[in-house]
């Protein structure tokens, strides 16, 4: 039974738990007086972002009793309704008069939570919220919140954060000698298994990732969305993984599923892709050179973490490289990022920055070099570029062609110098 006494008990447990959590600080810029909504895939580190803010307040001298932490994944709160959220305020003020800061983890489990969050902001409480559903960033939710919260997308570790979490500290001369070798060895793990913070503690990484994928698949996709055709949903995600470097139309994806003997319609495929994006599993890129209709119906889809993508692949190093570049570019440029496909193919294009990036695992022969360079030069002639880059696994040089200086840079170095 969810009542005030239960909420008081959960709040009290937080007082003991908060100061003891060991964290690896994340690179998140916070306005001291802001209210925040942190959204990302499960296990991306959203909870630790909350812990980091709580411990920072403790360091500033805020008493722990002024920090109210509620994790809505707690099984004792299962089935909690929006009208019961006020019990949190009642429970707090039944034992103290001071105005707390609220930290709500996975609050999307409570339908209608946004009205309570708005009320708290209206009454000048400071509130930090996390959720693993991208709908929390939707226009409808933001309309209810009324601009009172700042949205932050939380991703698994960047490569720099991954190095720090594994005890690899970068000095001023890290690109030389023994430290460079240490960075490259660490990158091998990051490239293959991704950057989920919890994963750094496990040796059996595939086992852990499989467990995470199954939780996302059943809890965030099947159960949350009441999906009945589990096999079609599973195949849709697998086919997106196998097609990660290629533009995919909804119709083509539907036909790929049907070819395997599973009934599916185009409208259902669109619905499934929206579910994947809501769960923060994938993100789309549109073709800058396409007309509006094609932009909306044919896109490239990338996975939010290389470890999840790698579960579906058999040694496809080129796909992992391009996916990792997509994640990094998405973090930096958000909705400004496109791909370019019109007589030429350029993997990533940011028109507002006059920037183009190609991902090529290995420039092993003249034909590969010519393909990547020619595409960038042709794009430069149509849309003048300030910067052009080819990200590789290990190669590094500069190529001057057609009035364009093209940097060839190893991916591990590119990630750290962004």
Span 293-304, pLDDT tens digits: 888 889 999 999
Q: How far, in Å, CA of 325 to CA of 341, rounded?
A: 17
**How many other C-beta atoms are found inside a 10 Å radius of the C-beta of residue 162?**
24
Beta bridge partners, 303, equal: 282
Let me know whether 20 and 145 are in one domain: yes
383 and 330 inside one domain = yes
Out of 255, 289, 311, a domain closes at: 311
Whether residue 414 sits in one domain with residue 360: yes
Provide the pLDDT confidence category of residue 315 given band limits of 50, 70 and 90. confident
In this structure, the answer to whether residues 9 and 138 fall within a common structural domain is yes
pLDDT tens for each residue of 131-143 = 998 888 777 688 8
Strand partners, 37: 129, 151
pLDDT in tens, 94-138: 988 889 999 999 999 999 999 999 999 999 999 999 999 888 877
Is pLDDT above 80 for 40? yes
Give every CB contact of residue 17 below 8 A, 6+ residues apart in sequence.
69
Write down which residue in 193, 219, 250 finishes a domain. 193
74 and 163 within one domain: no
Q: Kindly tell me if the per-residue pLDDT of 418 is higher than 70.
A: no
The pair of structure tokens assigned to 393 is: 């696994």
CA distance 357 to 360: 10
Specify whether 100 is located in the same domain as 229.
no
Q: What is the CATH number of the domain that holds 102?
A: 3.40.50.300
121: DSSP letter? H
Does residue 312 contact residue 241 with C-beta atoms inside 8 Å? yes
Tokens coding 86: 């006020």
- Statement to judge: residues 359 and 385 lie in one domain: yes
122 shares a domain with 90: yes
* Whether residue 33 sits in one domain with residue 134: yes
Residue span of the structural domain in which 177 resides:
159-193
Task: Give the whole-number percent of the chain exceeding pLDDT 90.
Answer: 78
Residues 336 and 304 in one domain: no
Between CA 77 and CA 86 the distance in angstroms is: 14
Q: Do 241 and 108 sit in the same domain of this protein?
A: no
Number of domains in the chain: 4
Q: Which of 335, 337, 333, 395 is nearest to 369 (CA)?
A: 395
8: CB partners within 8 A, 6+ apart: 91, 94, 95
Q: Tell me, yes or no, whether 287 and 361 share the same domain.
A: no
């Amino acid at each position: 039974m969810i009542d005030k006494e239960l909420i008081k008990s959960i709040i009290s447990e937080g007082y003991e738990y908060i100061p003891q959590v060991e964290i690896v600080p994340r690179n998140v810029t916070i306005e001291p007086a802001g209210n925040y909504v942190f959204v990302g895939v499960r296990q991306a580190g959203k909870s630790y972002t909350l812990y980091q803010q709580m411990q920072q307040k403790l360091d500033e001298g805020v008493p722990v009793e002024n920090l109210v932490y509620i994790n809505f994944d707690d099984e004792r709160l299962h089935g909690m309704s929006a009208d019961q959220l006020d019990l949190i305020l009642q429970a707090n003020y039944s034992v103290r008069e001071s105005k707390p800061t609220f930290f709500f983890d996975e609050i999307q489990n409570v339908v209608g939570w946004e009205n309570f969050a708005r009320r708290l902001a209206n009454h000048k409480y400071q509130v930090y919220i996390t959720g693993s559903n991208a709908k929390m960033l939707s226009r409808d939710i933001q309309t209810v919140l009324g601009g009172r919260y700042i949205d932050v997308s939380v991703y698994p570790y960047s490569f720099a954060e991954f190095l720090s979490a594994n005890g690899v500290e970068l000095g001023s001369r890290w690109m030389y000698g023994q430290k460079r070798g240490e960075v490259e060895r660490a990158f091998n793990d990051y490239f293959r298994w991704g950057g989920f913070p919890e994963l750094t503690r496990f040796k059996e990484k595939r086992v852990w990732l499989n467990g995470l994928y199954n939780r996302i698949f059943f809890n965030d996709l099947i159960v949350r969305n009441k999906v009945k055709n589990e096999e079609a949903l599973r195949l849709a995600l697998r086919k997106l993984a196998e097609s990660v470097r290629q533009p995919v139309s909804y119709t083509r994806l539907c036909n790929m599923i049907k070819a395997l003997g599973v009934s599916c319609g185009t409208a259902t495929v669109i619905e499934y892709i929206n579910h994947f994006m809501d769960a923060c599993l994938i993100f789309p890129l549109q073709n800058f050179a396409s007309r509006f209709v094609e932009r909306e119906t044919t896109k490239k889809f990338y996975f939010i973490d290389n470890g999840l993508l790698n579960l579906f692949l058999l040694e496809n190093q080129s796909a992992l490289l391009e996916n990792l570049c997509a994640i990094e570019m998405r973090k930096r440029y958000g909705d400004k990022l496109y791909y370019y496909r019109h007589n030429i193919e350029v993997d990533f294009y940011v028109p507002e920055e006059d920037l183009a990036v190609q991902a090529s695992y290995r420039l092993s022969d003249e034909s590969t070099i010519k393909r990547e360079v020619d595409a960038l030069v042709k794009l430069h002639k149509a849309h003048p570029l300030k910067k052009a880059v080819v990200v590789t696994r290990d190669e590094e040089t500069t190529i001057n062609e057609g009035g364009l200086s093209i940097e060839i840079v190893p991916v591990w170095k590119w990630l750290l110098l962004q």
